[in-house]
Structure 1
């Protein structure tokens, strides 16, 4: 993205180019550069070159106006293409994607839920649901995971958790 200084400089270049004389040419003796200062009038000498001004520099000066015009046209074409391809700011942005589920945290909360503990005892024969550590170890064993963190990183563990949770929800609906 252009800085404000770049935008200002480009505007100045465009302004100088628009105001500059046109039809630059070299005099017959190769010492002066002529340009048409006012449209419809004869060219006048605008630059006197010295003996140290070699042909490449004279050629550069003679072609400067036409070269800048060419480059500005290319730049305008490029900007037009960028604007065409770049999506416009949408005043109705698409809603952000939902934050990924934290199944590990969900599992930890369920392990503290009294009804979930009862379900573990009745449906999975988990003994001593009053011991929080035994519940955590039992759930990890049932889900075949080493830590609850795997529920957020391992798709297979996530699938087992979702099935396990669905079984609990079905039991809870009809205890």
Structure 2
């Protein structure tokens, strides 16, 4: 498959792909070995026999070889770290939602709020991943995409048009949920 033709993957899809790849090579106990031809990486197959996985040139540094040899352990550690961070974020969101009393939105300056969101790099990444904002992810491009998504010609409409304000609130909530997950 041509990599250029592939659809861009979301962060969650990339995380799942990493998990799947790591699971397919388990138990992934790789060993550094050496013979007359140099250093190489090997693992035991399902029958207990050693299988050569990779061979390193003499120019490969100790740190480069160690990095590759430790890759399964590092990937497992980092995926576990991500999982714990996501779980902690989810617990925090649930706790805040339980602690906050149900309330109506007070009159707010949604136009100013939207302008501030377009300044945030995370909001621009959200627009790119979820709504097709094309790079470069600049504030000006985010403003144009926001107007398109909300079907408005000016952010001022968010304060005077109830339907536009509701669309903004829904987009803001989607961003908040996206950010909580990862």
Q: Structure 1 length normalisation: TM-score?
A: 0.42
Q: Which has the higher contact order (CA 8 A, sep 6+)?
A: 2
Q: Which structure has the larger Rg over C-alpha atoms? A: 1
